[in-house]
Amino acid sequence: MASEQVSTELLRGFSPLDGLKRDNLAALARKVQIREMSPGQLLFKEGDTEKRTLYVISGILELVDQGKVVGNVEGGSEFARNPVAPVYPRRVSARARDRVQFISIDSDLLDVMLTWDQTGTYEVSELAGKSDQSNEDWMTMLLQTKAFHKIPPANIQAIFMRMQQINYRSGDVILKQGAEGDYFYVLIRGSALVTRETPLSKEGIKLAELQVGDTFGEEALISDAKRNATVTMQSDGAVMRLGKDDFKKLLNEPMLDWLTKSEAEEIIRGGGQWLDVRLPSEFENQHLDGALNIPLYFIRLKISTLDQSKKYIVCCDTGRRSSAGAYILSERGYQAYVLKGGINREQA
């Protein structure tokens, strides 16, 4: 498959990418490429569970169910503004009728970025302290790691805002083996070397080389143990660090009530209300019957319009944004639950 870089203007033509702030969209654009398919080639098969968000740019993609074409996605059409078959596992297969150009985005990365973007009023460059690509890159790289996806979305903004930048010279020791654990670190500029001293090697055995976006220091914080290695800068550079107390507090899952679809529907039958916190364009394309739509970034503004005597089942496509919304509601005394797995997951 051939590939080329995408522009922010192209990404802005798709939903919900058009809801991302300028710098966040630019950061995403650097992670995405345009790909091509030949006529007859399959993009995915029915039952596929790979979490990729797909958009058709040009050409016609056929949606096939049990050998029959049940729909088409034509690049440039209004229908093509939305992701192709977003429910997992995929309910249809997708096959190129002619030469098709498309983009593929890691669904978890996109969902984290949407959540982060909508949870606060900050852009990548503002959180990083200045608008340059190196700062944006370490943040998007961190968001893209599977480990970081486990961080409660309500805490994402707070983590970045509480981090402190520290500059180092080549040869400086960031943390020393045997010392007390006090900070969690992210390397944002330069490179560093991880070594461990042993009885046979006082110089230290090389364990790893760290590059921009790599994290370190968490083991000692989690286990309340001594540092098990030394990290030394190999070049001039900088790190962002988060204090031990903030690390423990912000990386703990908030006390939220998660419900299966059947459990949630029982509450709905008893007078509860679906509260969809996705963007209006996502809501219009697909939503649960009777759902109320208040985008995540409007929750604080619209919260006074909600009924404190009512139970709300907060939902989105995966559960990430809805957990942030439920956390905000719960903090303010509302009865809020989260739909486990989101509306894009088939549940018994």
List per-residue pLDDT tens for the chain, 348 residues long.
445 678 999 999 999 999 888 878 888 888 889 999 999 999 999 999 998 999 999 999 999 999 999 999 999 999 999 999 999 899 999 999 999 999 999 887 788 778 767 765 444 444 444 444 555 567 766 666 555 665 666 677 678 778 888 999 999 999 998 898 899 898 888 999 988 887 777 777 888 889 888 878 877 776 677 887 899 999 999 998 989 888 877 765 545 788 999 999 999 999 999 999 999 999 999 999 999 999 887 887 788 899 999 999 999 988 878 887 887 788 677 999 999 989 987 554
Location of structure tokens 């309500």: 154
* Integer Cα distance of 115 and 320 in angstroms: 7
**Residues 314 and 291 occupy one common structural domain:** yes
| Helix 22-29 vs helix 133-144: crossing angle, to nearest 10 | 70
**Residues 285 and 265 occupy one common structural domain:** yes
Active site residue 316: yes
pLDDT confidence of residue 168: 96
269 DSSP assignment: H
Is the distance from CB of 303 to CB of 274 less than 8 angstroms?
A: no
Q: Is the dihedral of CA 263, 295, 163, 123 positive or negative?
A: positive
Number of domains, the chain = 3
pLDDT confidence of residue 5: 72
264 inside domain:
yes
CATH code (residue 176): 2.60.120.10
**Residues 263 and 245 occupy one common structural domain:** no
**Residues 66 and 177 occupy one common structural domain:** no
pLDDT confidence of residue 122: 45
115 inside domain:
no
pLDDT confidence of residue 222: 62
116 inside domain:
no
pLDDT confidence of residue 298: 82
Is the distance from CB of 122 to CB of 202 less than 8 angstroms?
A: no
**Residues 234 and 298 occupy one common structural domain:** no
**Residues 79 and 49 occupy one common structural domain:** yes
pTM over 0.75: no
* Full domain range(s) for residue 289: 258-339
| Complete edge-to-edge strand list for the sheet that includes strand 68-74 | 42-44, 93-96, 60-65, 68-74
Helix (H) or strand (E) holding 124, with range, is: helix 124-128
pLDDT confidence of residue 144: 63
pLDDT confidence of residue 348: 43
CB atoms within 10 A of CB 53: 20
142 inside domain:
yes
Which of 106, 135, 167 is the endpoint of a domain?
Answer: 106
pLDDT confidence of residue 114: 83
Question: Identity (one letter) of the amino acid at 22?
Answer: R
**Residues 86 and 140 occupy one common structural domain:** no
Q: Which of 264, 316, 328, 343 is catalytic?
A: 316
**Residues 327 and 306 occupy one common structural domain:** yes
